[in-house]
Structure 1
Amino acid sequence: MADEAALKVLLLQCLAGNDAAHRAFLTEAAAMLRAYFRNRLRGRAEDAGAQAPSTSPKIIDVYPAHPFQRT
């Protein structure tokens, strides 16, 4: 797994248009995020499930089904 400095180098290469660096950045960032959330949610399966229903209405309020519909 890459460290933050290595991810920064990859990200700068991505911004310069390097497709291979883009793929590598996404792969490494995904691995880091999976590890982070696995540790954060360990032992909290019931909490994560309980939060899901309460989050859905908030998302619906922020992102309505037809945001450009004129009334």
Structure 2
Amino acid sequence: MGNKKVKSVSFNNTNPQEREFLERLEKEKLEFSAYVKELIFADVLRRNAPLKIVKRSEGGGIKIVVGK
């Protein structure tokens, strides 16, 4: 492995939600490692995004959205 670090993820086949995750991966023929890296990258971008004020109320309150 040399310069690679492996992190494993376990799925419980008796848990309906986790089973659905696995079935989706298999159905869409997604390469697991690339998919997880893509999700992590999207999360990092979302967390580093500036706050956006999307609505100011007449009473002075504001609605703030983090990321998109």
TM-score range, shorter chain: 0.3 to 0.5
More strand by share: 2
Give TM-score scaled by structure 1 length: 0.33
More helix by share: 1
